[in-house]
Amino acid sequence: MLLPTYKDVANAAAVLAGVAHHTPIETSRTLDDQLGVRCFIKCENLQRMGAFKFRGAYTAVNHYLNDVEGKELKGVLTYSSGNHAQAIALAATKTLDIPSTIIMPTDAPALKLKATQEYGGNVVFYDRYKEVRDEVAQKVKATLPEGTVFIPPYNHKYVIAGQGTVGKELVEDLQSKAITLDYLFVCVGGGGLISGISLAVKELSPKTVIIGVEPEAGNDAQQSLEQGQIVHIETPKTIADGAQTQHLGDLTFEIMQRNVSKIITVSDEQLIEEMKFIGERMKMIVEPTGCLALAGVRKLVSSGEIEKGANCGVIISGGNVDLERYCKLISSTF
């Protein structure tokens, strides 16, 4: 599949207009005072189904609905730990009345599993620590009707293009107020969000430095960019379940090599501190993965790598977390 371009992101924006939410950009004087920089926080936790994933899922499903080489689209198959699962079920089944089959790990967060099922997704479970999900997907696909398409969570042209609309909105909204970002921090799992965003940012704000943030336990993207090749790791054990990927995709890796300046890592403890801050000061419940970017900003400000007064974009990727787990995490002591 060919690499997506900014034109694909712009086309995705047109597809998503009136379907996906144009999410707000929030600021916090307390945060800016603490860090000595200006943070502009794009709140994808307020997106439909609670995460940016809806953008890519709907864009991809819409593509196949209108272009399946003359065949009728009979269904959609994917695998996901939660947010892409919900997004496909909502986009395909709930919104467009297309059957969806979702392969989810047995330890998927209960909230994400429940939402996926309520949106109409047919869930098939697998053990993420013992089974290879691509192999599971091949077996499941063989049981589904002809005309079923597989839409992966991140390594897909139209998924990447859809996620890129997050960056397009952020940059255009800020530019309308004469604000240019010096840095943009984005969480990294499989790379779909950061690669899509980078296509928009490099087109609209080419001097903005794009920095990815991963959990310490799962730094495959960091290793990949440093080594110049895709690095595979074991499923990382981290509270950031949305970033428990084992490797980047070939599409996301190539785009990231071109557009992403560096990848940094943060600890689970740092994620919990940001969950607390966003909850207490910004009045939002955000999942651990959604706090990666803000934790990254704080880390680089503390190390002196980000200059005082810089304009920093921060992507909150999602807010889907069980309240019981959320309460346990923010009450944790390390």
Question: Could you write out the DSSP letters of every residue in 185-209?
Answer: EEE-SSSHHHHHHHHHHHHH-TTPE
Q: Is 143 left (phi over 0), alpha (psi -120 to 50) or beta?
A: alpha
Out of 42, 53, 168, 202, the active site residue is 53
Is 53 considered catalytic here? Answer: yes
- One digit per residue, the tens of pLDDT, for the chain of length 334 reads 689 999 999 999 999 999 999 999 999 999 999 999 999 999 999 999 999 999 999 999 999 987 656 578 999 999 998 899 999 999 999 999 999 999 999 988 888 899 999 999 999 999 988 898 889 999 999 999 999 999 999 999 999 999 999 999 999 999 999 999 999 999 999 999 999 999 999 999 999 999 999 999 999 999 999 999 999 999 899 999 989 899 999 999 999 999 999 999 999 999 999 999 999 999 999 999 999 999 999 999 999 999 999 999 999 999 999 999 999 999 987 5
Q: What is the pLDDT of residue 110?
A: 87
Residues 6+ apart with CB under 8 A from 325: 109
Is 302 considered catalytic here? Answer: no
Interstrand relation of 311-316 and 38-43 (parallel, antiparallel or unpaired): parallel
Closest CA to 54 of 255, 251, 193, 204: 193
Q: What is the pLDDT of residue 271?
A: 98
CB atoms within 10 A of CB 201: 28
Out of 28, 42, 80, 81, the active site residue is 81
Q: What is the pLDDT of residue 109?
A: 85
Closest CA to 297 of 46, 52, 38: 38
DSSP secondary structure letters along 210-275: EEEEEEGGG-HHHHHHHHTSPPP-PPP--S-GGG--S---HHHHHHHHHH--EEEEE-HHHHHHHH
Closest CA to 6 of 261, 219, 267, 205: 205
Q: What is the pLDDT of residue 90?
A: 97
Q: What is the pLDDT of residue 334?
A: 59
Which amino acid type is present at position 161?
A: A
* Rounded alpha-carbon distances, angstroms, from residue 230 to 4, 40, 192, 198, 221: 19, 31, 14, 18, 8
**φ/ψ of residue 164, rounded to 5:** -60, -20
Q: What is the pLDDT of residue 129?
A: 85
Which strand (E) or helix (H) includes residue 131? none
Global pTM reads 0.96
